[in-house]
Structure 1
Amino acid sequence: MSDIGKRLPRKRFSPDERRKLILDGAIHFFAEHGIDGSTHQLAKELNITQPLIYQYFPNKEYLIDAVYDELFNGRWNPEWDTLLKDRTRPLSLRLLQFYSEYSQVIQAPEWIRIYLDSGLKHLQLNRRYNTIIEQSVIHRICDEMRVSLGLPDLDDLPITDAEFEAVWTMHGGLFYHGVRKHVYKLETTRDYEAVIADIVEGFVVGFEVVVRRAVVRSR
């Protein structure tokens, strides 16, 4: 029996509990075997029958959608938008708090592996999630940086390619730390909170040059 199956003790569960156990098992299973893993193999590793899975998830597509809702939507904190918009605090402190909290989500091995695998399989999971990130994080940071520097906001002057790419590079760099650790199995020796602090500080200092130059050129 796999480690996943061992996590499902033999006892009577309520329907909600059973559904949650199957969903949690599916997340670990797809993280280990990829989105192409079959529900037949999933049932075997969970030590249950395949028809039991289909009692709660009518087909594999439905199960994948449930994985997305749990892993991506379910772990997104709506308070982060309020945090990033709180202009009573310096932007660097807002970014530091946001990425310290957000990284606790995206540094989870199953989150990283399913996110990457769904992209390689050309599925919609990470595309849907990236739409959320672009609107709620990338554009938000660009707008807040403009305001903090006394420059036109995005309503007056649309985001430039230079700004867009600079924020994505910072955002992606923090994510890549987890890829090195959980996908490439490379040793990461530094304290991750220190990594976040260094990257955020370097970004804020360097981005001021980028955004001022981009705004001047756009005008």
Structure 2
Amino acid sequence: MRAAERERFIVDEAVKFFAEHGFGGQTRELAKRMGITHSAIYRHFPSKEALIERVYEEIYLSRWSPSWAGLIQDRTLSLQARLSRFYLEYVEQVFEYNWVRIFVFSGMKSFDITKRYLQIVRDQIIEPACRELRHELKLPSSDQVPLSEREVEMFWGLHGRIFYMAIRRFVYDTPTPERLDDIVNDAVRVFLDGSKQLMPELVQSAS
């Protein structure tokens, strides 16, 4: 096996291994599972942390679409249409066994995969969506009145509601709908209906 092929093999198997056992799983066990020597892993990755970083790039960064940040700010579409489209595309990428379980295991260990990923979500989706909702409701911009944590948490609530279906499916192993289109659209619609009534109060309290 060529070096590049072996590295690819190690990464693919590491994704599955960490999804099953968490980051407490030992690289020695990973090597045994793959049928290679322990030292073979370290010829490609100098440490377990380096291998985990590669898993992060493979599972999380490679599935994050650069177009999503622009979509949230595309004012040729209604905010409802933008959020629905984003979350429909998002669930296509993240509703997957390895993605969800590695995300959860990372949050319970000292590795900062979850923290770094959620910062991307906040910077590119949550806070821009807050600003876009203000614009749609003709409320003061964030330049005039800084975003409040209550606004940000309101959007995290929408994000969490949708992602919790993945937790139910891949962590709790409980039934979830096979088709998520209507579920996602309903979640966005209910969220916006409620937030439009609350937003003026939130912005006023933040000013």
Q: Structure 2 length as normaliser, TM-score?
A: 0.96
CA distance in 2, matches of 1:139, 1:162: 11
Match of residue 172, structure 1, among 141, 150, 160: 160
1:35 to 1, 23, 39: 23
Q: Distance in 1 between matches of 2:161 and 2:188?
A: 11
CA apart distance, 1:215: 1.1
Q: What are the residue-to-residue correspondences of 1:117-136 with 2, within 5 Å?
A: 117-136=105-124
Look up the match of 1:207: 195
Structure 1 portions without partners, runs of 5+: 1-11
Question: What residue is the counterpart of 2:7 in the other structure?
Answer: 19
State the 1:154 CA deviation. Answer: 1.6
Identify the residue that residue 144 of structure 2 maps to in structure 1: 156
CA distance, structure 1, for counterparts of residue 13 and residue 141 of structure 2: 45
Distance in 2, matches of 1:152 and 1:17, equals 54
Cα deviation, 1:116-169, whole Å, max 9, x if unaligned, reads: 111111321111111111111110110111111111222221111221111001
SS at match of 2:60: helix
Residue 76 of structure 1 is matched in structure 2 by: 64
Matched residue, 1:48: 36
Residue 43 (structure 1) shift: 0.7
**DSSP-derived class of the 1:105 partner:** helix
Q: Distance in 2 between matches of 1:109 and 1:37?
A: 17
Unaligned runs of 5+ in 2: none
Could you tell me which amino acid in structure 1 is paired with residue 65 of structure 2? N
Looking at both structures, which has the greater relative contact order when contacts are Cα pairs under 8 Å and sequence separation is at least 6? 2
Quote the offset at 1:36 in angstroms. 0.8
Shift of 1:210: 2.0
Tell me, yes or no, if structure 1 residue 144 matches structure 2 residue 132: yes
Cα pair 2:147 2:206 within 8 Å, conserved: no
Distance 1:199 1:78 in 2: 24
Return the offset for 1:38: 0.6
Q: Using the TM superposition, give the Cα deviation of residue 26 of structure 1 relative to its aligned residue in structure 2, in angstroms.
A: 0.3
Q: Does 1:181 align with 2:169?
A: yes
> Deviation per CA, 1:38-73, whole angstroms, max 9, x where unpaired?
110001111222111111111101101111111111
Deviations 1:50-97 (A, max 9, x none): 111111111101101111111111111111111111101111111111
Following the alignment from structure 2 to structure 1, what is the Cα–Cα distance between the partners of residues 20 and 66? 29
Q: Which residue is 1:196 aligned to?
A: 184
The structural deviation recorded for 1:16 is: 2.1
Instruction: Give the length in aligned residue pairs.
Output: 207
| TM-score, scaled relative to structure 1 | 0.91
Cα distance in 1 for partners of 2:125, 2:58 equals 20
What is the aligned partner in structure 1 of residue 46 from structure 2?
58
- Over aligned residues, Cα RMSD in angstroms? 1.2
**Percentage of matched positions with identical amino acids:** 38
> Greater shift after overlay, 130-139 or 154-163?
154-163
Query: What is the deviation of 1:190?
Result: 5.8
- The answer to whether residue 105 in structure 2 is matched with residue 114 in structure 1 is no
Q: Secondary structure at the match of 1:74?
A: helix
Question: Structure 1 stretch 205-214 or stretch 34-43: which is displaced more?
Answer: 205-214
